[in-house]
Amino acid sequence: MKRWLMTFLLVCSMFATNAFADGAAIAPDASTANCFGDSIGNITSGTVQYIARWRRNVISCGAGQYVPKESETAQPCPANSFCPGPDAPNTGFEYSETMTQGIETCPDNLKSPAGSKKLGDCGRILHVGGGIMYMHQERPVDGPVLVIKIGNEKYYANLSNENNVMTLDSDKKLHIKYNNTNYTAFDNSVLYYGE
């Protein structure tokens, strides 16, 4: 069921009108629809008309967010899911009492950090020295990468010449030396979803 926001305008007049160009008007008979009262609240005369205007209730939502059912507010995408946002050219989702919109669970028990935007963000968690780092299915576009192969699947993390921590919520670092160059590996979601 679609939910519509409705605005009603109460019009008091001495005559009834059955329709308006910009909405619907309901004019009950004079015995039940008087709207002029005296100082103690008694109804004296007049007719009530209700003019309704409506619009679709679209909840603004971008990539990295989703809209839960029965909610009028977008929420951040939780871990182990990805939220691609609405299809272009839409900027949000219509209110729904029955379905959550804009969120997908990572397949095959893969993991992803909160705020993930695409399927390629799903992957495996690498545990290193008491810290964790998300390794993603999608290879980063720029720069050198750390590649971990599990079975026939490859998972990726960024490498940097800077002294980066593995994730935003960790002070752990993974240092890698390759071809006489020192790198630190880090979760590429730090680039896209970090503050």
Longest dimension (CA), the chain: 94
Note the pLDDT of residue 108.
Answer: 92
Question: Of 28-37, 138-147, 158-167, which range is least confident?
Answer: 28-37
Per the prediction, the chain carries an average pLDDT of: 74
Q: How confident is the model at residue 173 (pLDDT cuts 50, 70, 90)?
A: confident
Q: How confident is the model at residue 9 (pLDDT cuts 50, 70, 90)?
A: very low
Q: How confident is the model at residue 12 (pLDDT cuts 50, 70, 90)?
A: very low
What are 86-124's pLDDT values in tens digits? Answer: 998 999 999 999 999 999 999 999 999 899 999 999 999
Q: Is the pLDDT of residue 43 over 80?
A: no
Q: Minimal CA–CA distance to 75: which of 87, 88, 62?
A: 62
For residue 180, the 8-state DSSP code is: T
Where is 175: in which H helix or E strand? Answer: strand 174-178
